[in-house]
């Protein structure tokens, strides 16, 4: 039953993709339906009308779009149901599908870990399919055909779901490639701009390099076992060296997809150019699938983890978290900023996963379960709020045609509902108490503070330092999202487009983000719901649960022991409501002191203009100066002078260009190397038939010599 | 009973905060050869503000008007988890020290947004500077706090203070470092000299004041009260974590009375030190603050490392 709904989720998303193909087949459908109706019914009158109404020129595209997204949404619902069912029953379901290679049918396995990620995907897909119909409505069919978008969205979602079901390396890689390639077409959807094509190519290139690395990782495992099924891979016993090689390959492959520094460069390029609901899926959900791959590979297939791997993950995670948020801070394109912030969050997840590995390898499985819990919980939370923020960015773009946050402003009055939803997203991602982001960060700190149980002195001093880096990351994230919300929604409009914006009319476009925002708040108040589910995952995968799961009530969150640390969000919420309620009621009792509106104080000069407000680069200037060496900053100020002796400044031009260090340091050398290597190889291609005959002759001689 | 005491203690916390501000001002005036206002002047100011009609800029949205209530209640929540006169508070269990830092972040988030809401250059400037300084101060603060929590192996503030109290007078090098780190952070976070000067409105130096420039009436009262409360919170943290003696361990009237006297004495002394420091030190340039906070972070890190190397039980 559970497996059936899991299959249903895959099939429905696949079907939604296929249905989208009918976008341009309207006339064929029309004739077919007329034919069918004539054949089957004698009095075809009103049935014909009913069908024609949907197949009519005007209604057909909207109707089909709706149908495609309904199918997608159903797939999401089935995914949520299947995920919840397997998590609650804690079962492991295996199956085989007679597809694929003749001697290797597709092995399917649906366990708690897959179920948890199924849940993440399901929620993301549900929100996106509520949002989608309104968002794609304004796309011009000629430039951006819906058939392409719908087909690849469906394939992309089914690819992601299949990755989670895979129980052999072949099936896994097929599903993985389906996911990667389908998402390539989605990134390249708006292909009329060359920058978008370039971003899409970069994405494809990195996805394929990553996939190669994963294949090699599986290859290392497979060479020590008799088969490609995960069961055989699990049974293999590797020496430490080979296991570490497999780990590094998997880390490179899955890390490339997840976007850890320094292999993160595709994220800030690809996310901004994809349609917003697709970037929501890619950032909120696909990165989690990569995380799933890494967890499956390390904790399940490789079996016994080494603490050195944990240290690698911890350091990479810390670098990604800090680097991601510092780069995010400097962006002016909202979606680019969100993409960098995904790098940060993935970094946090890797950090905590590293801690979990360290505790696991040092023989503290319960603390490992705590770290695992924090990592998966943060993955879940990130899926919620990053999805929400990307959908919000989509609404902003849809209404103002603007993604540059220096061109927005004052939207809180013109788009009150969107602003509230976006505020919830910003608060969650800044890990403020009462919201879900805080709970996972709190758990991460609690994990890091358990360092006293370790024997290794280096680890014991390394982990607190990374905890402090986590604190810095959280504080910078708060600063970054104050900037985002403050510049987009508050103040005065900085451009005409944002001055004329109005709230979206489509209810679905608000319902999708509202679902996510509601979950962000609900999970923030009652984190126990998800923690119970993750505890089931870790009991199945790690064989250990939280140290003290008896205290896991709906009211209290005490992961280690009630004596050591506890947090009760419902009580905090009640306290906050009481405190705010009392002072609100008390202070506003006097009718004489009712609020009065007046002009903003302008220092007596008059004429406050929107250009006097702080801009994005002004807001981040102190941090840019403090952490100057993190970026490559190209800041230029030109002055147009006029008048006698060029003394008067007529205008000042300011240019700021900020670049990632990884391009000149890592990627350009590689690109140059590949280029020059291919030039060297190109030398043997002289274009002369005699030379080629010579090559054939030499090869023939060589082969004959080898054979004899 | 425990809950009642916790609530009463929170109310006491809120009630005493303006008094501390008045005492601080009194000490400073005395040191600078000025005539001091009454100790109760902050109360009168707050009362006066609540009776005035608040004037709100036309640009302001609902966020600007709601922010003071949010800031005030978040600060009260932070105060409620800190043992003031007695340990073993039930509120400390509902929110530990990391959550307390989270409450500060919550208040700051809305204060910075309120600064940006009006759309003037001052508000943006204040928000930008406040977020910069606090994002550097927060890791230093957590470093210092982690030293405490790792020593006591609990993040529950009541538990940690009780642990320090029960282990008697032990000189821990880690605590010395953590104390200095926390003092530096407290000065930065509460906007005192040398990081920010609460008594000027000079545009080049303003941080906190720049954000709240547009507030008036009861909104200003709430924000002022919240910042007085914040000052007191940091004072109590320093006093009760590093010098917890005198705090009540049982809920008898006598013990609670002694606890109240003890904390008032400790805070009074701290305020004297703070006012001496404020009189002697000049305000820093804004771009020296990162060195100052970097130093605080380094002290916190040293405290943590000396705990791990010297004191941990293996």
Helix, strand, or coil here: A637? strand
- Most confident stretch, A120-124, A222-226, A500-504: A120-124
pLDDT higher than 60, residue A421: yes
Beta strand spans in chain B (E): 55-57
Closest by CA to A279, choosing from A124, A472, A173, A160, is: A124
pLDDT confidence bin for A50, thresholds 50/70/90? low
Contact (CB, 8 A) for B158 and B243 = no
Interface of B with A in 85-144 (CB under 8 A): 91, 93-96, 98-99, 102-103, 105-106, 108-109, 112-113, 115-121, 123-125, 127-129, 131-132, 134-139, 142-143
Mean pLDDT to the nearest integer, A67-90:
93
A205: nearest Cα among A266, A286, A285, A264: A266
Could you report the per-residue pLDDT of A433-463, keeping only the tens digit for each? 999 999 999 999 999 988 888 888 888 888 8
Query: Is residue A310 a contact partner of residue A247, using CB atoms and an 8 Å limit?
Result: no
Q: Which residues pair with A93 in a beta bridge?
A: A110
Are B143 and B306 in contact by the 8 Å Cβ rule? The answer is no
Q: Which residue(s) pair with A634 in the sheet?
A: A657
User: Which residue range forms the structural domain that includes residue B190?
Assistant: 2-311
Is the Cβ of A432 closer than 8 Å to some Cβ of chain B? yes
- Computed from CA positions of residues A447, A453, A455, A460, in that sequence, does the dihedral angle turn out positive or negative? positive
Q: Are A71 and A106 in contact (CB under 8 A)?
A: no
d(C-alpha A349, C-alpha A371), whole Å: 9
Residues A392-406, mean pLDDT to the nearest whole number: 92
Residues of A in Cβ contact (< 8 Å) with B88:
none
> Which residue has tokens 């004041």?
B209
Of A629, A338, A684, the C-alpha closest to A477 is: A338
Who has greater pLDDT, A53 or B206? B206
What average pLDDT does range A74-84 have in this prediction? Answer: 94
Rounded (10°) CA dihedral A78, A82, A84, A89? 150
- Which regions of A483-628 does DSSP assign to beta strands (E)? 596-598
Residue spans per domain, chain A = 312-569
| Residue A598 β-bridge partners | B57
CB atoms within 10 A of CB B195: 25
Substitution target from A486, A592, A630 for chain B, most B beta carbons within 10 A: A486
Domain tally for chain B?
A: 1
Cβ–Cβ contact B305 with A under 8 A: yes
A458 has a chain B CB within 8 A of its CB:
no
Question: Mind listing the pLDDT tens digit for each residue in B151-179?
Answer: 888 888 998 999 988 887 878 889 999 99
Q: Is the pLDDT assigned to residue A549 strictly greater than 60?
A: no
- Give percent above pLDDT 90 in chain B: 59
User: Residue A450's pLDDT is what?
Assistant: 87
User: Which SS3 state, helix, strand or coil, does residue A608 take?
Assistant: coil
State the distance between the two ends of chain B, measured CA to CA, in whole angstroms. 40
Among the residues of B81-216, which ranges form H helices?
Answer: 90-94, 97-117, 121-152, 157-166, 173-189, 208-211
**CA–CA distance, A78 with B69 (Å, rounded to integer):** 43
Q: Chunked in runs of 10, what are the mean pLDDT values of chain B (314 residues)?
A: 88 94 94 92 94 90 94 94 88 88 95 92 91 92 89 88 86 91 94 83 79 91 94 95 89 90 94 93 88 93 86 64
Residue carrying the six token digits 């590094």: A248
Predicted confidence (pLDDT) per residue in A178-221, tens digit: 999 999 999 999 888 898 999 999 999 999 999 999 999 999 99
Assess A438–B contact: CB distance below 8 Å, yes or no.
yes
Sign of the dihedral through C-alpha A589, A593, A595, A600: negative
DSSP assignment of A145-187: -HHHHHHHHHHHHHHHHHHHHB-BHHHHHHHHHHHHHHHHHHH
Which of B76, B120, B218 is the closest to A587 by Cβ? B218
| Among B142, B59, B135, B163, CA closest to B289 | B135
pLDDT 10s digits, A261-273: 889 999 999 999 9
Residues within 8 A of B (CB atoms), A 596-655 only: 596-602, 608, 610, 612-614, 618-623, 625-626
Size of interface A-B (CB pairs under 8 A): 259
Residue A560 and residue A230: Cα distance in Å, rounded?
Answer: 33
Q: Which 3 state secondary structure label does DSSP give A108?
A: strand
| pLDDT over 90 (residue A157) | yes
């Amino acid at each position: 039953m559970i497996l059936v709904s899991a299959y249903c989720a895959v099939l429905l998303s696949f079907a939604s993709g296929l249905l989208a193909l009918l976008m341009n087949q309207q006339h064929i459908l029309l004739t077919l339906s007329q034919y069918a109706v004539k054949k089957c019914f004698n009095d075809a009158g009103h049935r014909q009308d009913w069908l024609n109404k949907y197949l009519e020129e005007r209604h057909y595209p909207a109707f089909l779009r709706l149908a495609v997204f309904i199918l997608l949404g159903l797939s999401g619902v089935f995914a949520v149901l299947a995920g919840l069912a397997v998590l609650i029953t804690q079962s492991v379901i295996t199956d085989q599908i007679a597809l694929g290679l003749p001697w290797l049918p597709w092995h399917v396995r649906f366990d708690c870990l897959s179920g948890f990620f199924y849940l993440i995907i399901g929620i993301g897909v549900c929100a996106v399919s509520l949002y989608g119909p309104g968002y794609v409505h304004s796309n011009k069919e000629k430039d951006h055909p819906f058939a392409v978008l719908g087909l690849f969205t469906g394939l992309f979602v089914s690819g992601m779901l299949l990755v989670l079901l895979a129980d052999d390396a072949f099936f896994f890689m097929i599903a993985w490639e389906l996911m990667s390639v389908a998402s390539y077409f989605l990134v390249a959807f708006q292909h009329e701009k060359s920058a978008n094509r370039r971003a899409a190519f970069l994405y494809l290139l990195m996805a394929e390099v990553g996939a190669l690395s994963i294949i090699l990782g599986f290859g290392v495992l497979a060479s020590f076992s008799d088969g490609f099924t995960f069961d055989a891979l699990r049974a293999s016993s590797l020496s430490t060296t080979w296991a570490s090689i497999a780990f590094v390959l998997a880390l490179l492959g899955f890390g490339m997809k997840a976007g850890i520094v320094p292999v993160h460069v595709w994220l800030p390029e690809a996310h901004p150019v994809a349609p917003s609901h697709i970037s929501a899926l890619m950032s909120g959900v696909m990165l989690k699938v990569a995380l799933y791959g890494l967890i499956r590979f390390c904790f399940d297939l490789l079996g016994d983890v080494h603490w050195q791997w944990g240290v690698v993950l911890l350091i990479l995670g810390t670098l990604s978290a800090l680097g991601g948020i510092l780069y995010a801070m400097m962006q002016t394109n909202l979606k680019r900023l969100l993409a960098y912030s995904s790098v940060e969050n993935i970094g946090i997840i890797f950090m905590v996963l590293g801690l979990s590995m360290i505790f696991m390898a040092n023989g503290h499985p319960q603390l490992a379960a705590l770290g695992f819990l924090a990592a998966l919980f943060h993955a879940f939370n990130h899926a919620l709020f990053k999805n929400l923020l990307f959908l919000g960015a989509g609404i902003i773009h849809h209404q103002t045609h603007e993604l540059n946050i220096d061109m927005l402003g004052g939207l809180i009055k013109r788009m009150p509902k969107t602003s509230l939803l976006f505020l919830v997203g910003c608060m969650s991602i800044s890990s403020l108490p009462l919201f879900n982001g805080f709970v996972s960060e709190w758990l991460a700190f609690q994990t890091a503070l358990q360092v006293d149980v370790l024997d290794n002195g280096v680890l014991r001093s390394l982990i607190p330092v990374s905890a402090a880096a986590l604190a810095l990351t959280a504080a910078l994230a708060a600063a970054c999202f104050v900037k985002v919300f403050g510049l987009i929604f508050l103040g005065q409009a900085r451009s005409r487009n944002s001055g004329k914006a109005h709230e979206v009319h489509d209810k679905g476009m608000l319902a999708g983000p509202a679902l996510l925002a509601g979950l962000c708040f609900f999970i923030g108040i009652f984190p126990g719901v998800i923690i119970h589910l993750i505890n089931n995952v870790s009991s199945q995968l790690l064989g250990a649960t939280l140290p003290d799961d008896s205290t896991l009530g709906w009211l209290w969150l005490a992961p280690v022991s009630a004596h050591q640390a506890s947090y009760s969000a419902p009580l905090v919420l009640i306290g906050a409501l009481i405190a705010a309620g009392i002072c609100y009621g008390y202070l506003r009792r006097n009718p004489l002191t009712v609020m009065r509106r007046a002009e903003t104080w302008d220092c007596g000069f008059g004429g406050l203009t929107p250009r006097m407000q702080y801009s994005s680069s002004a807001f981040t200037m102190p941090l840019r100066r403090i952490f100057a060496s993190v970026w490559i900053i190209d800041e230029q100020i030109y002055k147009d002078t006029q008048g006698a002796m060029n003394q008067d400044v007529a205008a000042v031009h300011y240019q700021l260009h900020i670049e990632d260090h990884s391009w000149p340091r890592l990627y350009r050398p590689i690109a140059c190397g590949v280029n020059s290597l291919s030039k060297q190889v190109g030398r043997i291609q002289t274009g002369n038939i005699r030379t080629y005959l010579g090559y054939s002759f030499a090869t023939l001689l060589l082969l004959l010599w080898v054979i004899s | 009973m425990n809950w009642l005491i916790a609530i009463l203690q929170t109310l006491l916390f809120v009630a005493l905060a303006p008094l501390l501000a008045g005492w601080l001002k009194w000490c400073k005036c005395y040191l600078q050869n000025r005539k001091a206002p009454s100790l109760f002047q902050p109360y009168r100011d707050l009362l006066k503000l609540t009776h005035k009609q608040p004037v709100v800029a036309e640009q302001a949205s609902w966020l600007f008007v709601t922010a003071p209530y949010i800031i005030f209640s978040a600060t009260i929540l932070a105060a409620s988890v800190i043992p003031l006169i007695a340990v073993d508070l039930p509120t400390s269990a509902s929110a530990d020290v990391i959550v307390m830092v989270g409450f500060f972040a919550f208040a700051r988030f809305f204060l910075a947004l309120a600064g940006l809401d009006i759309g003037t250059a001052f508000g943006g400037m204040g928000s930008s500077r406040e977020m910069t300084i606090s994002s550097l101060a927060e890791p230093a603060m957590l470093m210092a706090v982690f030293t405490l929590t790792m020593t006591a192996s609990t993040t529950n503030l009541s538990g940690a203070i009780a642990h320090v109290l029960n282990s008697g007078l032990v000189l821990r090098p880690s605590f010395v470092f953590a104390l200095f780190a926390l003092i530096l952070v407290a000065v930065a976070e509460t906007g005192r000299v040398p990081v920010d000067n609460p008594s000027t409105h000079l545009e080049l130096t303003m941080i906190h004041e720049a954000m709240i420039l547009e507030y008036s009436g009861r909104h200003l009262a709430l924000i002022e009260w919240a910042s007085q409360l914040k000052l007191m919170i940091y004072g109590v943290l320093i006093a009760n974590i590093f010098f917890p003696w005198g705090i009540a361990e049982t809920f008898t009237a006598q013990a609670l009375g002694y606890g109240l006297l003890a904390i008032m004495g400790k805070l009074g002394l701290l305020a004297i030190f703070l006012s001496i420091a404020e009189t002697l030190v000049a305000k820093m340039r804004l771009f020296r603050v990162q060195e100052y906070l970097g130093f605080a972070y380094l002290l916190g890190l040293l405290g943590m490392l000396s705990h791990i190397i010297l004191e941990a039980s293996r």
